[in-house]
Chain A
């Protein structure tokens, strides 16, 4: 099948097992949400797919190709990665940062971006509604604007797979919806989108497919309506919740009731 297929992936940090035989699929043309409590292994999973973490066991395939065996540059032309925080001490304009997305396509001998690079940067900026920001200094932007620049940088990579680690966690609600709308549009254009998320209601609203990680294992996988149920939320998050169906909305709504003391 096309898209991302992760099977039996184990990743360790020293002696500690972070991912423990985790497997799931993220179909092409869909937005897949990776949810689970802090420390469940969401970021590690994204790092593993991106080739930043060594696999002890397991396979990761994208469109049938063995991702961990690829050369870094080859992988970077296929998938783009957006980190949770991206800070720099360098003096870069927004255009320079988005231009970094073209690094995988440039040779060491190339002195300046090609016409194709410049087109990709311009359309990525436009897609994020940041065309007028190109000459502003990245360091002077707000956190939300910086995050949008990072996503524009990922779009400039023209990736077939987008991996994002909590891309909306420090954005205001409008910026969150803007970012998620852009990701939806990317998925509709055929991209495989995988993002780690904390906000279950946004996950239900925007994801076609949810994967629930808990203590390094995948404990549930499916559509938001299938996955989000009170038992699972209590088991995984330790939270009592009610799931309601709002008339006229196709997605479920999670209402958090309490965090019962389970000790």
Chain B
């Protein structure tokens, strides 16, 4: 849809926007810190600048609070956009998002179980285990129904999601008291508040492990455009590719959910927006979705933590507030051309 030099320009533009956004986002917040101070602090910590240009407190705000938060937002956004793109192709369902097969409900259930069991610090682990358990169950049910085809997997996922949500509500209703409501709710909506270097490491690890597998499957994902039989007759080992990609996507989504909760709309809207602009060739669509997802998430999270200062919103509210209208616009645009 675009000539090749246009892609190069688009990549360069998006990378520049990402770096500039990160620098600006780190200056925003209760403490006023300039772009120069931000870069100075970062360079100092990389050992490229002998003396820190700012006080220890401001240094800590940049290095311990804002930078990890910005990096976590970028990583979670990229990961969710990538996972959403893959789910939309694999299930041939334009409404698919990373949570389609019950992943987010499973994660919420796992997190709430861990929280109520008194292991609040291990909530991310509970979320991760819960999401994988939900996916495993959904695929198992699909298999028992006679083979894990896209439509069966979706139906089984809906079933698991409903069960897990009911379980979560039951647990909250039964036992949550005082502030744990708030904590659970913020987590269910999705929030990156309190993201630290440990979270950044987790998100990075998830991306490093899963993203290359997905990015190098662009050719196979292209072949899925006309369904399983068409992909198979183009020489794609569809069973192996589908399971490999489902596993990679589930792992990736599990990690993202563990860090940020069930942040909605990023994995649904970003792939559609990018597809509208560059078409469905996955060797272009996948990396572009990651970049756009990262930038989208960074700005929504920055808005979530700074717009209503000193109060902070769960970022899931902002992604939905921004994402839903964008999704509507995309639908209108699609209707015009189809």
Residues of A within 8 A of B (CB): 47, 50-52, 71-77, 80-81, 83, 86-93, 96-97, 100-101, 103-104, 106-112, 135, 137, 139-140, 157
Contact = CB atoms under 8 A, between A and B. Distances in A.
Contacts of B1: 93, 96, 135
B12 to A, nearest CB: 16
B275 interface: yes
Contact of B217 (A92, A106, A108): A108
Contact of B281 (A50, A51, A76, A96): A96
B175 interface: no
A19 B219 CA distance: 33
Contacts of A96: 1, 222, 279-281
B229 interface: yes
A91 B4 contact: no
B280 A92 contact: yes
Contacts of A50: 232-233
B235 A92 contact: no
A209 B104 CA distance: 57
Given A103-B222, A103-B223, A91 B280 contact: yes
Contacts of A104: 234-235
Contacts of A71: 235
Given A81-B233, A90-B89, A104-B234, 18 more contacts: A51-B232, A52-B232, A72-B232, A73-B236, A74-B235, A76-B234, A90-B280, A91-B279, A96-B222, A96-B279, A96-B281, A103-B220, A103-B236, A104-B235, A108-B216, A108-B217, A112-B283, A137-B338
Contact of B337 (A80, A103, A111, A140): A140
Nearest to B218: A108
Interface residues of B, number: 32
Interface of A is mostly: loop
Contacts of B216: 108-109
| Residue picked from B222, B235, B275, most chain A C-beta under 10 Å | B235
Q: Which 8 A-B pairs have the closest CB atoms?
A: A76-B235, A73-B235, A90-B280, A81-B233, A104-B235, A90-B225, A72-B235, A88-B225
A237 B162 CA distance: 50
Contacts of A92: 225, 279-281
Contact of B235 (A75, A90, A111): A75
Contact of A103 (B219, B229, B275): B219
B194 interface: no
Interface in B32-91: 89
B234 A103 contact: yes
B37 to A, nearest CB: 39
Contacts of A139: 338
B276 interface: yes
A184 B228 CA distance: 29
Interface string B209-241: 000000011111011011101101111110000
Contacts of B93: 89
Interface of B: 1, 4, 89, 92-94, 216-220, 222-223, 225-227, 229-230, 232-237, 275-276, 279-281, 283, 337-338
Contact of B226 (A76, A83, A109, A140): A83
B242 to A, nearest CB: 14
B229 A47 contact: yes
Contact of B222 (A100, A107, A112): A100
A74 B234 CA distance: 10
Contacts of B219: 103, 106-108, 110
Nearest to A107: B219
B94 A89 contact: yes
Contacts of B236: 72-73, 103
A51 B89 CA distance: 23
Contact of A77 (B94, B235, B338): B235
A246 B18 CA distance: 73
Contacts of B89: 90
A72 B217 contact: no
A240 B233 CA distance: 38
A100 B234 contact: yes
B104 to A, nearest CB: 23
B230 A86 contact: yes
Nearest to A70: B235
28 contacts: A50-B233, A52-B232, A71-B235, A72-B232, A74-B235, A75-B235, A76-B233, A77-B235, A83-B229, A86-B227, A88-B226, A89-B92, A91-B276, A91-B279, A92-B225, A92-B281, A93-B1, A100-B225, A104-B234, A104-B235, A108-B217, A108-B218, A108-B219, A108-B220, A111-B283, A112-B4, A137-B338, A157-B234
Nearest to A89: B94
A97 to B, nearest CB: 8
A166 B66 CA distance: 61
Nearest to B234: A103
Contacts of B223: 100, 103
A80 B281 CA distance: 21
Nearest to B223: A103
Contacts of A111: 283
A93 B279 contact: yes
